Amino acid sequence: MLHDRARIHVEGGAGGNGSVSLRREAHVPRGGPDGGDGGHGGNVVLVCDTSRRDLASLRFSPRQRAGRGGHGQGKQRHGARGEDAIVAVPPGTQVDGLGGERFDLTEPGQRAVVARGGAGGRGNKRFATSTRQTPRFAERGLEGESGWIELRLKLLADAGLVGLPNAGKSSLLGRLTRAAPKVADYPFTTLEPVLGTIDDGERQLVLADIPGLISGAAHGMGLGHEFLAHVERCRLLVHLIAVDPLDDRDPIERYGTVREELAAYGAGLDRLAEIIVVSKRDLLADDQIERIVAGFRDRLSTEVVAVSSATGEGLDELRRAIFAAVPAAKTRVGAGIVAGRGEPEFEAEHVVYRPAGEGGFDVEREDDAFRVLGRGVEMLVARHDLSNLEALAYLEQRLREIGVIAALERAGFSPGDEVRIGAEAFDLDPR
């Protein structure tokens, strides 16, 4: 079974804490603080790996956590950086990140950081000044980013075989390539996309057999709707219409059913280049096949090939038509490759930035307390131990410098009122 979707929880490593250390050595006239910094937490990184077929492995390990940064130590020894969590995903994986980013991993070795580790805390050596010569506080490391992300696999195929159930797609794929799809004399034998490769001696193309589409597929009917996304990356559609002496419907009508579903799904599927294949031609006489092919050509003005997977008739003509319709230069936008350039250009991350309040923070009244909102201020408070009086004095100084106390006073704050910043709540009595 092809697992083309996964939902995993990613957690960047927490940063290590800074160290509080005072140097005391015999025969050393000048001691003082020498606490080292904590190491940064590791990242959760997705890596495009061609050895992966689908996202099945993530269903059994839905939680990915990076390593924590090491704590700082005395003698200005800094903590080690946390180990990254490397998650291998197959080419064609799309990811919706934690902060609105979207990643498209299509090239081998391409990497995407989906959860960044927290910053390490600074040791007390960093806070030594001419007036604060022996600081007895240090910063705590910050927590890493965490949350659930969605992954979706869209197969990287050059051409997709589409059509109604039992149109002969699996049989055709088996004759054109070395793939071994399931073939039977009943519809819906294909339950998941199957890939195969054709070769003309100069280059290779990948064909994808997409499960059969029925009317209403774009809205969830049948099996094929689950795999329409795999057609998005194709550069060519090979549309099969089976001739059946027992089916009195017009072949053009059956062709229109699939075209309507492609258009209803969106994503530009109805604008892809197309080759119409009249399959199972051995079931009708040659003059009947010629009338059907002529009817398609007259009404649609497109390439039409009649084939028989049973006898092999028309397969060479179809193979040549597929190679002619797919350009030799890679121009697939999703793959991040630009024609005429020798190296791949990976698709950039797209991040949604939202404006912060005045000065990077906002002050709101919350019950009988004041709430200060702003990522920078929240990170500042999270870094310090509020039970440490020196750390509290330093924090109060920083809040005054960046304008938080002035904003509180404008909002009606009085000394001794409760202030809430992030997960912390404390009574503030600025001097």
- For 279-319, the pLDDT digits (tens) are 888 888 888 888 888 888 888 878 899 999 889 899 999 99
Q: Is the pLDDT of residue 404 over 70?
A: yes
- More confident position, 179 or 118: 118
Average pLDDT, stretch 409-413? Answer: 89
What percentage of the chain has pLDDT greater than the value 90?
32
Q: Taking Cα atoms as reference points, which of 45, 97, 42, 87 lies closest to residue 66?
A: 42
CATH fold of 159-335: Rossmann fold (3.40.50)
Query: Model confidence at 346, in pLDDT bands (50, 70, 90)?
Result: very low
The pLDDT of residue 288 is 87
Q: How confident is the model at residue 383, as a pLDDT?
A: 92
Candidates 21, 61, 55; CA nearest to 37 is 21
pTM of the entire predicted model: 0.72
Give the confidence band of 227 by pLDDT, cuts at 50, 70, 90.
low
- How far is the C-alpha of 312 from the C-alpha of 252, rounded, in Å? 24
Domain ranges of the chain: 5-153, 159-335, 358-427
Q: What are phi and psi of 290, to 5 degrees?
A: -65, -40
What are the residues whose beta carbons fall under 8 Å from the beta carbon of 201, sequence distance 6 or more?
A: none
pLDDT category of residue 332 using cuts at 50, 70 and 90: very low
Predicted pLDDT at 344: 39
**pLDDT band at residue 72 using 50, 70 and 90 as cut-offs:** very high
Residues 136, 23: Cα–Cα separation, whole Å: 12
- The DSSP string of 182-242 is ---SSS----S-EEEEEE-SS-EEEEEEPPPP-TTGGGT-TTGGGGGGGGTT-SEEEEEEE
pLDDT of residue 347: 42
**Nearest 5°: CA angle at 17, between 12 and 23?**
155
Question: Among 166-180, 231-245, 351-365, 417-431, which stretch is predicted with the lowest mean pLDDT?
Answer: 351-365
Q: Do domains 5-153 and 159-335 have the same CATH topology?
A: no
Alpha helices in 313-388, H assignment, sequence order: 315-325, 375-382
Quick: pLDDT tens for 347-389. 444 455 554 444 588 999 988 899 999 988 999 999 999 889 9
Q: What is the pLDDT of residue 45?
A: 95
* CATH architecture of the region 358-427: 2-Layer Sandwich (3.30)
Instruction: Check residue 192 and give its pLDDT.
Output: 62
Give CA–CA dist 399/307, Å, rounded: 77
What is the radius of gyration, based on Cα positions, of the chain?
Answer: 32
CATH class of the structural domain 5-153: mainly beta
Q: Which amino acid is at 81?
A: R
Between 152 and 70, the higher pLDDT residue: 70
Residue 213 pLDDT > 70: no
The per-residue pLDDT of the chain, averaged, comes to 82
- The pLDDT tens digits for 119-171 are 999 999 999 998 888 899 999 999 999 999 999 888 778 888 888 887 888 88
